[in-house]
Amino acid sequence: MNTLDTVIIGSGPGGYVAAIRASQLGQKVTIIEKNDIGGTCLNVGCVPSKALLHAGHAYQEIRHAETYGIQATGTLDFAKTQHWKNTQVVKKLSTGVSQLLKKNNVTIVMGEAKFTSKSTISVSKDGKTEDYSFKHAILAVGSRPIEIKAAPFGKRIVDSTGLLNIPTLPKSLCVIGAGYIGCELAEAFASFGVSVTLVEATSTILPGFNTKLSDLVKRNLQKLGVTLLTEALVVSSKETEDNVTLTYKKGEVESTIESNVVLVSVGRRPNTDRVNIQVSGIELDPKGFVKVNAKSQTTNPGIYAIGDITPGLALAHKASYEAKIVAEAIAGHASKIDYKAMPAVCYTTPEIATTGLSLDECLAKNIKAKATDFPLAANSRAIAASKTEGFVRIIHDEKSKLILGAQIAGMNASEIITTLTMAIETGLTLEDVALTIFPHPSVSEAIMDTMEVGLGYPIHM
């Protein structure tokens, strides 16, 4: 039996980052992957979905180019769109991650790993099995889409992976679940001209976001022609060769929807049930997530867990952050996890992003906080791009003016939220940021303007 120094199971944004950082810190690292290097995010999740969104937005820009005095007509070849996404985006990045692992002297083993004891694993591939013992293990096996009884996966009822790899555009699509994955893919396919219906069991789309943010997304989805059904619970489905008929209830009234394809996007479940975890000495919580301490160490001191299999938001950047902490902890550093400011983004139109505490969270913690807003309608860069819908909101301590949280809706929200994440992490106040010189014209100037509103000396309001 071969003995491994540090073994990492899973090569997603948690696994590969942990592998590289652990190797940089002097550990001999082996990473095990059963599918494709890069994990769900890179191959069938975050990255390809953003590629399709980008293509959809480009198609819409061409269709509405007359706004800028441009006469243009656009035709869509979806097969070429998929080929571009798969070869120029996904394959390029996956190959890049493999090269980074090799550059950092990480040994890559392809196969499915399962625990055989508290300090051993077996790796199976093509009917062959290899056994290994390890000194340290990092479990980074991610999550998978939840399947529902009312609409089990089939030929035309698919998860996000199936929809992202669909070879031809359907005429109609029904999306069950209006979280960020459901909303992003609903927008992408509606942008391509597909008739989309979005079904959500709660009273609003994007239930994890403030309604001031989600209402902007709702309005734009409706402009694209997306039909929104909230407080609607899918109770059954019938799949035929060409279509799927869904039956749903709103209150006591039952209705049906027919579409070519159904996407089930109601959340994800941790893959902790796929690694024979019961023999590893790792304890799970009632929802199947791994119990970890401040170093992301499990109840087995030799095993760490990161990413979607641990409690909290299922975000790629959360996994990457935890990966670095764990690699440092194994190397003997006094590193601990601190989620003081964890950005979350929905890449819809407009983009929406949050970081730090919301006003409600501050109130729950008995923090006397205040929210200050600035509209992008008063931002010159947004006006020049005809993208004025949105705002910047800063949550700050009433007395000290310490920045506690932020919410952004609008152009480039996914990019400029980082400025506010850094402000929270470094303990900056409204004045600190207001006195920072921002480039003009830029959307980021709205951050400075929001700070000035909070201080009572606004220039552009």
> What pLDDT does 304 receive?
99
Q: How far apart are CA 36 and CA 213, in angstroms?
A: 35
Rounded mean pLDDT, 371-376: 98
pLDDT score of 284: 98
**Structural domains of the chain ordered from first start:** 2-144+269-330 (3.50.50.60), 157-266 (3.50.50.60), 344-455 (3.30.390.30)
User: 300 near 212, Cβ under 8 Å?
Assistant: no
Report the pLDDT averaged over residues 419-426: 98
Residues of the chain with pLDDT > 90: what percent?
Answer: 98
How sure is the predictor about 72, in pLDDT bands with cuts at 50, 70 and 90? Answer: confident
Phi, psi for 185 (deg, rounded to 5) = -75, -30
pLDDT, position 294: 97
CA torsion 121→127→128→132, rounded to 10°? Answer: 0
Mean local confidence (pLDDT), 158-182: 98
> CB neighbours of 193 closer than 8 A, spacing ≥ 6?
76, 169
Segment 108-136 shows an average pLDDT of 98
β-strand partners of 355: 406
Q: Residue 62 corresponds to which tokens in the numbers above? A: 């061409």
Nearest Cα neighbor of 52 from 175, 165, 170, 153 is 165
Q: In this predicted structure, what is the pLDDT of residue 1?
A: 82
SS (H, E, C) the chain: CEEEEEEEECCCCCHHHHHHHHHHCCCCEEEEECCCCCHHHHHHCHHHHHHHHHHHHHHHHHHCHHHHCCCCCCCCCHHHHHHHHHHHHHHHHHHHHHHHHHHCCCEEEECEEEECCCCEEEEEECCEEEEEEEEEEEECCCEEECCECCECCCCCEECHHHHHCCCCCCCEEEEECCCHHHHHHHHHHHHCCCEEEEECCCCCCCCCCCHHHHHHHHHHHHHCCCEEECCCEEEEEEECCCCEEEEEEECCEEEEEEECEEEECCCEEEHHHHCCHHHCCCCECCCCCECCCCCCECCCCCEEECHHHCCCCCCHHHHHHHHHHHHHHHCCCCCCCCCCCCCEEECCCCCEEEEECCHHHHHHCCCCEEEEEEEHHHCHHHHHCCCCCCEEEEEEECCCCEEEEEEEECCCHHHHHHHHHHHHHCCCEHHHHHCCCCCCCCCCHHHHHHHHHHHCCCCCC
User: pLDDT at position 320, please?
Assistant: 99
- Mean pLDDT estimate for the chain: 98
Report yes or no: 335 and 328 within 8 Å, Cβ to Cβ.
yes
Spatial contact of 178 and 172, defined as CB atoms under 8 Å apart: no
Average pLDDT over residues 63-84: 93
Find the mean pLDDT for residues 189-198: 99
State how far the Cα of 229 lies from the Cα of 387, in Å rounded to an integer: 27
Judge contact between 39 and 142, C-beta under 8 A. yes
Encode pLDDT of 348-372 as tens digits: 999 999 999 999 999 999 999 999 9
pLDDT at 73: 84
Residues noted as catalytic: 440
Give residue for tokens 């529902």.
Answer: 148
Residue 309 C-beta-side C-alpha neighbours within 13 Å: 30
Question: Would you say 333 and 394 are in contact if contact means Cβ atoms under 8 Å apart?
Answer: no
CA pair distance 113, 145, nearest whole angstrom: 20
The encoded tokens of residue 254 equal 């039952």
Report the amino acid identity of residue 205: I
Instruction: Please state, for a pLDDT cut of 70, what percent of the chain lies above it.
Output: 100
CA 162/CA 244 separation, integer angstroms: 15
Distance from C-alpha of 32 to C-alpha of 41, rounded to nearest angstrom: 17
Per-residue model confidence (pLDDT) at position 441:
98
Instruction: Name the pLDDT band for 74 (thresholds 50, 70, 90).
Output: confident
Q: Identify the pLDDT of residue 308.
A: 98
The answer to whether residue 274 scores a pLDDT higher than 90 is yes
Extract long-range pairs of 68-74: CB within 8 Å, 24+ residues apart: 68/386
pLDDT the model gives residue 228 = 98
